A and B are shown apart, each in its own frame.
Chain A
Amino acid sequence: MDDLSVLAWRSRIASGEAAPEDVVRHYLEAIAARDPEIHAFLLVREEAREEARNLRAEDRQTLPFFGIPVALKDNFLTRGVRTTAGSRMLETYVPPVDATAWERLAHGGAVLLGKTNLDEFAMGVSTETSAFGPTRNPWDPTRTAGGSSGGSAAAVAAGFAPLALGSDTGGSVRQPAAYTGIVGFKPTYGLVSRYGLIPMAASLDTVGVFARTVDDAAYAFVHIAGSDPKDPTSFGKLPPAFADRLAELRRLAYPARAERLRALLSRGFSGAKVALVRELFGDGVSPEVRTAVEAAVRRMEALGARVEAVSVPELEHAGAVYAVVMSAEAASHLGRFDGVRFGLRVPAGDVDALYTRTRSRGFGWEAKRRILFGTYVTLSESFVDLYERALRARRFLASRLEALFADFDFLLGPATPTTAPVVGAAGDVDPVVELTQDLLTLPANLAGLPAVSVPAGRGSDGMPVGLQIVGPRYSDLDVLAFAFAWEEARPPEARPPFGGKVPGSSPREGGSGR
């Protein structure tokens, strides 16, 4: 029962073997037993039991997510359910609307299990900047689960939920997925509506999926993807071939046809042309990550993939470009938290003091740092030198990556330079060190490309290693198919030991330290 995937649950529910409330009970029990140690959730919904019971039985065959419990990163708005974005600023905020991605799952019959922990406003790489304490890695609670979607990753990895949504601005889905040994998929920018996702940097933000298997991730993705009239950046300008395929998959992706979905995804490696980007295997990549990823690449090669090393020297500047664009937008988005209309208000005699006190108390250090940096790069004296230059560099970088796809189907590399760091090790000191944890993932965000992190194996420290596959814009289904091929082909020793029996699953002394 423990290692059931979304698709497995779906067929059980469809056949009447399991009732939605049994599924919900299973996960709520798992959460109650182990989440005090992991701290994946900021809010667990006991109401989910009743909601599962109240589902209309006749929908069990037809609704794609009928009875499936879902965990949402707490920066997805949930109407009537507190949404904090991991910040004191929104500690009591109850949004008036639902995020579209969640709404689509809910219309499909999904049940909201809870809201998961994240770095404050998704700003961080370890879920340690959360105002409500860090999330720990289910494989080893002394380590971080990554970030910023660490709560969602840990929830899926620990067996607290079969499916979770996260947001990925610079790697916030792929990096924690790699650290926790699960699948983390970031679609092409704009393919999944960002409506209701509290923005970090809107031109980079994407809605991502956490699942235990690639077909689960694909199953969820095809249902949440597609244009949303509430999000202009998702307006239907899809290439027709892609749109047709998405629609076809969505039709097929119902429980009775899950096998067909698998068949569509399964294309093997033969004929695939893969580029290994040298800059993504740089000095910062630890030997154990390098070894695991190289082994995976060799195996793919043996199975028919054509692999070639290439160099994109401009990637060296991706971190700086990202830092400028991201913080400028982040500072802009965060202006609305001023204590006037919603969220935290620290009363004061005059309005300037109200802003100052509210924002001083409401934001943590990471948010403040990004506000200051973002403000600095957009001041009129630095605007042209920093901000405009970064925008130009971003476009150039995107065009360089795009050009690669004339010759290659995918770019391949590690998702993270190391396995999951120890909690507290990143330190609240060096933002540059912190940035390096995202260095391998953020190019896909700068260029708006689809990318997935899929478990490649484990390092000598026993911790999972993630393999990153990046494709051109709108190659989402191909990227997933390639990941699926790897998932099928990987040797037993590279398979993560699923089923909630991950190392460190035995209760530990000391619980969830902060």
Chain B
Amino acid sequence: MSAVREEARATEYEAVIGFEVHVELATATKLFCSCPTTFGAPPNAHTCPICLGHPGTLPLLNERAVEYALRAALALGCEIERRVHFDRKHYFYPDLPKAYQMSQVHAPIGRNGALTIEVGGRTKVIRIREMHLEEDAGKSVHLPDDAGTLIDLNRAGVPLIEIVTEPDISSPEEARAFLEELRLTMLYLGISDVRMEEGSLRADANVSVRPKGSPVLGSKVEVKNLNSISGVERAVAYEIERQVALLRRGERVVSETRRWDEDRRLTFPMRQKFGGEDYRPIHDPEVVPYVLEESYVERVRAELPELPHARRKRLREAYGLSAYDAGVLTANRELGDLFEAGVREGAPPKPLANWLMSEFLGYVNERGLSVRDVPITPRQWAELLALIEEGTISTKIAKTVFQRMAESGRDPREIVETEGLVQIADPEALRKIVERVIEANPKSVEDYRKGKEKALGFLVGQVMRETRGKAHPELVNRLLREALGEPGGA
């Protein structure tokens, strides 16, 4: 009781959060049979005697899944278990065909890793306790009105990795940043499509709170059913508040499993299915232990791509980009790749980054495309930016040119030439048009001379209209001022 009272007296609380994240590996086939893993097939279309658990059938280990798991473990800086074997976790559930789940209980493939996250401009290291490979279970669909339960075993046997963190996360923002960074890392590794809404990334958060500075951990609540990254942030925030409120009132936090309701934005207790589970894990006698040779591990390590954290750092340092720009370019691996390829073709980094992040992403998002769907090559990007830089086209025209490029994949220089979009930067050619505009708009000329600076803008616009936007705007500005003399003058 005294602990409870002490907690109630505390004015400041801190949260202690850990995650268990399941990531579905994007292998073509299941972990122990050759059934496809594609999402969205009719129920039980992707099943065979092996994943249905028929007696006498034997598991055939998918070595690609082991490679993917190894890639993830190395990327997370884990120590690698060299002898891969599987254990059977026993429990009865209708969507678990063999009544055991193949997992790595005794020897996870990775241990003692870490993931660096960035929150509010500072970095933090989240320790990874372990990472293991296991098979997914199927799906039970409970019909309304107790009309029965249907079972879909398409997912049964699909390879997953489970990543378990140490309780190093202390805020909803960090929780979000952790999951985003983990998700991005998996994408960079090319081992999962990490779509939370399709269940290929599933996160459970373990949340507890305690008076700030207390060495004792509070009661742990496991929050399940988190199916979006913003949902995770909201759920963790809700749960922290709920627990703090309980403690402030002098009540206890019950250690339990709760579900997040995204619509109502709250957590509620889940019915406990098992009390004091004992999975009785035994070494699976049907899968031959698989030894990861040193040379193999080193080869996989050498083939690891640059990871998001390193890329952000490099983009800032090598190209002088802001943390924000580096973040945006890294968050979309293909966008970042396009950026770097464009720079290699000679595009100036900062302007290219701006173009990609505003005009290009806008175009892509508006149309629901992905980066690769747009047929503009890095060389063409460099060319477009060169056209702007050398003054051949204005920024405004460049936007038109970009639209044409995105639609057709044609070279920008060719578009500019065939469509006559070259900027008119010849003072002699423009001077005639300027004179014509002055003559045709005496009212505006007068307004300008009376000191209405706005009138100059109108006249510039008229010149641009005459030239169908091709006139060099700054030059037009200068020529008009020259022709009209200073505002407020005689």
Contacts and interface: CB of A to CB of B under 8 A. Distances in A.
A233 B56 contact: no
B56 A336 contact: no
A379 B56 contact: no
A196 B55 CA distance: 7
A195 B90 CA distance: 22
Contact of B285 (A202, A235, A379): A202
A335 B56 contact: no
Contact of B53 (A232, A336, A352, A355): A336
A203 B285 contact: yes
Interface in A166-195: 194-195
Interface in B61-116: 61, 88, 90, 92, 94, 97-100
A97 B53 contact: no
Contact of A197 (B56, B99, B287): B56
Contact of A97 (B54, B88, B287): B54
B49 interface: yes
A278 interface: no
B195 interface: no
B400 to A, nearest CB: 60
B286 interface: yes
A383 interface: yes
Contacts of A198: 55-56
B52 interface: yes
A95 B53 contact: no
Interface in B259-288: 278, 280-283, 285-288
Contacts of A341: 52-53, 97
Contacts of A97: 49, 54, 56-57
B28 interface: no
A196 B56 contact: yes
Given A195-B56, A340-B151, A378-B280, A201 B285 contact: yes
Interface string A77-118: 100000001000010000111010000000000000000000
Interface residues of A, number: 45
Given A198-B56, A340-B94, A233 B286 contact: yes
A71 B55 CA distance: 20
A328 B280 CA distance: 10
A59 B151 CA distance: 47
Given A202-B285, A232-B287, A332 B88 contact: yes
Interface in A383-415: 383, 387, 391
A8 interface: no
Contact of B282 (A75, A328, A337, A351): A328
A194 B55 CA distance: 11
A387 B281 CA distance: 11
B483 interface: no
A232 B49 contact: no
A338 interface: yes
Contact of B61 (A202, A232, A387): A232
Contacts of B61: 232
A196 B56 CA distance: 4
Nearest to A325: B285
A96 B57 CA distance: 10
Contact of A332 (B60, B94, B151, B282): B282
B190 interface: no
B487 interface: no
Contacts of A95: 49, 54, 56
Contacts of B99: 335-336, 338
B60 A232 contact: yes
B285 A329 contact: yes
A141 B263 CA distance: 73
A122 to B, nearest CB: 11
B285 to A, nearest CB: 4
B4 interface: no
A195 B98 contact: no
Nearest to A96: B49
A446 to B, nearest CB: 13
A143 B127 CA distance: 66
B250 interface: no
Interface string A49-88: 0000000000000000000000000011100000001000
Given A375-B280, A387-B282, A232 B56 contact: no
Contact of A232 (B59, B92, B151): B59
B323 interface: no
B60 A230 contact: yes
A314 interface: no
Contacts of A351: 94, 149
A506 interface: no
A425 B66 CA distance: 52
A336 B98 contact: yes
Contacts of A380: 278, 280
A333 interface: yes
A199 interface: yes
Interface in A309-366: 328-329, 332-333, 335-338, 340-342, 351-352, 355
A231 interface: yes
A77 B60 contact: no
Given A332-B90, A355-B92, A199 B55 contact: yes
B92 A335 contact: yes
Nearest to B32: A232
Given A329-B282, A332-B282, A336-B97, A199 B56 contact: yes
- Between A201, A329, A379, the greatest number of chain B beta carbons within 10 A of the residue's beta carbon is seen for A329
A132 B101 CA distance: 32
A202 B286 contact: yes
B254 interface: no
A395 B340 CA distance: 57
Contacts of B281: 378
A76 B90 CA distance: 25
Contacts of B282: 328-329, 332, 378, 387
B125 interface: no
A77 B56 contact: yes
Contacts of A333: 55
Contact of B286 (A232, A328, A337, A342): A232
A235 B286 CA distance: 12
A411 B90 CA distance: 39
A99 B90 contact: no
Nearest to B99: A335
Contacts of B283: 391
- Between B99, B281, B285, the greatest number of chain A beta carbons within 10 A of the residue's beta carbon is seen for B285
A404 B283 CA distance: 28
B300 interface: no
Nearest to B61: A232
A90 B92 CA distance: 19
A390 B59 CA distance: 25
B94 A335 contact: no
B94 A233 contact: no
B280 A383 contact: yes
A383 B87 CA distance: 13
B58 interface: yes
A201 B52 CA distance: 19
Contacts of B287: 232
Contact of B58 (A230, A332, A342): A230
B59 to A, nearest CB: 7
A201 B282 CA distance: 12
Interface of A: 75-77, 85, 90, 95-97, 99, 194-199, 201-203, 229-233, 235, 328-329, 332-333, 335-338, 340-342, 351-352, 355, 375, 378-380, 383, 387, 391
9 contacts: A194-B58, A199-B55, A202-B286, A233-B58, A233-B286, A335-B92, A341-B53, A375-B280, A383-B280
Interface of B: 49, 52-61, 88, 90, 92, 94, 97-100, 149, 151, 278, 280-283, 285-288
Given A77-B56, A96-B49, 20 more contacts: A76-B56, A85-B55, A99-B56, A201-B285, A202-B285, A229-B60, A232-B60, A232-B288, A332-B88, A332-B90, A332-B282, A335-B92, A335-B99, A335-B100, A337-B55, A342-B52, A355-B92, A378-B281, A379-B280, A387-B282
